[in-house]
Amino acid sequence: MKLEVIVNGRSASLEVNGGRFRYAPAKSEAIEREFSMEPLFPGSYSVLIGNRSYEVVAAGGEIRVNGRAFQVEVFDPREMRGRKGAAGDEGRQNIAALMPGKVVRVLVAAGDAVEAGQGLVVVEAMKMQNEMKSPKAGRVIEVKTRADATVAAGEVLMVIE
């Protein structure tokens, strides 16, 4: 699985293949390691990398690793075609659910102007609330969901232009 991520405002790519990952921050050297992961309870995991153990707790757009907080956004390139980092996107963009869940709140309406990184919709999945953010500055063209709606992975929730 190949993903694009933004960690504390810095772009990177993350590739996970079985028990191995490759994390490549923009303008930095890539890190490749073997790992294993076991769920402790929903949203909390024990991750073993080499001889080191990490407690990872995911909630919304934040991940805590051994108590240290990181702001994280995850983008699946299959859903965000042509993405080149945190800026520079042109044309219409579909904002799609990353996983099945329930819409908790819709934060914008059709016609609203939005800034890059502005919250658009909050989706609860696996007992975690995930705020989906605008990939670019623009205008909300269409809102295709509502609060309390159940959504499928990949379902388009709104369109930004």
- At 96-151, the pLDDT tens digits run 887 788 999 999 999 999 998 899 999 887 778 888 888 889 999 999 999 999 98
**For the chain, what are the domain ranges?**
2-75, 93-160
Domain 2-75 has CATH 3.30.700.30: yes
Task: Answer whether 0.85 is exceeded by the pTM.
Answer: no
Say whether domain 93-160 belongs to CATH 1.20.1250.20: no
Nearest Cα to 2, choosing from 11, 29, 10, 13?
Answer: 13
Average pLDDT, the chain: 85
Residue 86, φ and ψ in degrees, nearest 5: -85, -10
Q: What is the per-residue pLDDT for 74?
A: 81
Calpha distance 101→121 (Å, rounded): 12
Edge-to-edge strands, sheet with 138-143: 93-96, 156-160, 138-143, 113-114
